[in-house]
Amino acid sequence: MAGNVLKRSASLVLATALLAAGPVFAQTAPTVQPSDNGQLPDREPSGRLVVILPDILVDLFDGAADGSARPGDSADLTDPAPVPTPNPGPGSPPPGDPAQASPANPPPSPLTAPQAVSGDFVPDEVLVTIDGDAQSVQDIAAALNLDIRSQRLSTLLGVTVVRYGIPDGRPVGVVLAQLAGDQRTLRREPNHIYDLQQAAAIVNYAFQRIALDSSAASGENVRVAVIDTAVDDTHPALSGVIAGTFDAMPGTPVEDRDHGTSIAGLIAGVGPFRGIAPGAAIYHARAFEGGKSTMDVLLAALDWAAEQDVRIVNMSFVGPRNDLLELGCMAARKRGMVLVAAAGNNGPKAPYGYPAAYDGVIAVTATDEKDELMPKANRGPYVFISAPGVEVLAPVGGGTDVVTGTSFAAAIVTGAITNLLHAAPDHDAGWIEEALAETASDLGDKGRDSDFGFGLMNTRAVLDRKR
């Protein structure tokens, strides 16, 4: 990814240049491998490698070996400590000049230390939630020399989300720190980038492994949201399956359809290819192209899903921890939505994958027909449950193919939960989580572990438990 290489190079050059110039923080954007309002939980392990120079922090990697705190941990949710305001130049108004301050034009806040930023992100954008009206959005842009690229009222967050562009090349961490000084901003986040979790790739063995009778499987009357690529809605497996669609990136031409077609088909496919929960109504949000999406797009898709009154949301993607996504997931869960996400395909030593690692999200890892773990699956205590995801038959544009990845394991768990809600629609998200944990077939170390979670999904045992 050329953009990430440029950002790494630029950060190293900047660090070298500033070594003699004085204290400042430099940032980079490490590449992510493809793969009520209370205190937010700190669930991600330490493990970031940083290079410490005199008064310079160069954040190079996602993980740290020295136990230092990671950007994105709960300790980072507070505003940076201010540093002294520089002396005003000739002709500048004196500090605190009342003629310069008004509600629409508040006095400038002290400069703050630039924030370190982890994960892959759009290099010239930030996302901000605003406590104010359209005029406030414009005033902030004018005060900090930012472009307003989009703004909308978030259904789940209940506030205005603004995507500001940075036209002058300032690092994202610097702009986030500058925004932290404006009391009209509530949250300030990078526009993080997220990846679909499809690994490189015969019979679909999933029904047998999760103990679900394919002839009795049904998701009728259950609404399921899928946030993914576009789908091939002409595919026979999706005939009558897609109940509603939303394009969260309308300005981007549609080229990718395979991943979304596979996910929707595995959940609710019909005809010759039978999904785990045929009869379910799929509400499909297109939010990925080229395997990539951004935080603003994903939040718009999640808001749309909430507006459709869906019971379940399938999120077969992974990216960095982001405060806005976490708040969106928390709000969705409070609405009673079951959230299912791919644990990630980045390997045993990879950092946690989000949104799977958030509380209230069911993190799914992938196993094969022998119930062995996919070698490149993420590990960690956030892994909740296992399901088939290695060499699983799935629909793709124009036919079917064998696919591998935690993306597809997540879709199978989403389909299984859809069966549970079809059989017992009054059960809530908390009951579903508890039932999955108590009935899973234990794999690996006894009890819940960082490889398999509670174990292999056992649909029959959950259905028996409801009675």
Q: Which residues are catalytic?
A: 228, 259, 407
The SS3 of residue 53 is strand
CB atoms within 10 A of CB 99: 7
**Degrees (nearest 5) of the Cα angle 411, 414, 420?**
150
Q: Which of 300, 241, 240, 296 is CA-nearest to residue 266?
A: 241
Q: Which residues contact 358 (CB under 8 A, 6 or more apart)?
A: 43, 325, 326, 329, 330
Give which of 59, 169, 176 is closest to 115, Cα–Cα.
Answer: 176
The neighbouring-strand residues paired with 415 are: none
User: How far from each other are the two terminal CA atoms of the chain, in whole angstroms?
Assistant: 52
The rounded Cα 83 to chain-centroid distance in angstroms is: 33
Strands 317-318 and 338-342: unpaired
Q: Alpha-carbon distance 382 to 43, whole Å?
A: 8
Q: Could you say which DSSP state residue 217 is in?
A: -
